[in-house]
Chain A
């Protein structure tokens, strides 16, 4: 079955540590997205990629980095520069940028310890 896989489901980060969240899709979608969700809030866009080897900053990109070396994969690194990283992170993909619904992964809950 096609879909998006996010791993791990839960992640704990120590202060000053970089961590990488995985997002893999087998839907043959061109566009991929990373959103952050805080408790009781909507989603805020971190980064998005419309095509392989290209990506753009979203509304809250500071302290995050991404890569898009393969169509299937769009990993997100939360760096030590992100001062408040505790949140629920959601990856999504769509057929192409604009005009289509998104397919979401099941999310990664990141907690700073």
Chain B
């Protein structure tokens, strides 16, 4: 069962521009996490935001969480070619077994 839905499915921008990806989910959560996956590789954890937090920063990454709308966004500022990857949101549900449920991902391409 997919909990998170990322939007857009694919995004292509020029190097130096900002990239914004969105994630919507259906059930109450403990936290929401964002991961990056380079082609054919494992996922890398980027950032975790808890349900009582509204915004979090890590370097060029900014994540927001709106629990009333059940949505989150990931902003990458001043994009670089090395940011080309797929980005996934994952939710840690409030009730039930403690396991992450991943969305389908956004494929981000940074053009030089």
Contacts and interface: CB of A to CB of B under 8 A. Distances in A.
A106 B41 contact: yes
Contacts of A109: 40
Interface stretch (A13-21, A64-72, A74-82, A94-102): A94-102
Interface in B44-97: 44-45, 48, 88, 92, 97
A42 B42 contact: no
Contact of A45 (B41, B42, B101): B101
Contacts of A26: none
Contact of A98 (B42, B44, B88, B98): B98
A102 B98 CA distance: 12
Contacts, number: 64
Interface residues of A, number: 30
B40 A48 contact: no
B48 A101 contact: yes
Interface string B1-31: 1101000000000000000000000000011
Contact of B42 (A56, A59, A90): A90
A58 interface: yes
Interface residues of B, number: 25
B42 A105 contact: yes
Nearest to A9: B40
A43 interface: yes
A29 to B, nearest CB: 13
Contact of B45 (A42, A88, A101, A105): A101
Contact of B102 (A6, A43, A50, A99): A43
B98 A106 contact: no
A103 interface: yes
B45 A103 contact: yes
Interface of B: 1-2, 4, 30-31, 33, 35, 40-45, 48, 88, 92, 97-105
Interface of A: 4, 6, 31, 33, 35, 41-45, 48, 50, 56, 58-59, 88, 90, 92, 97-107, 109
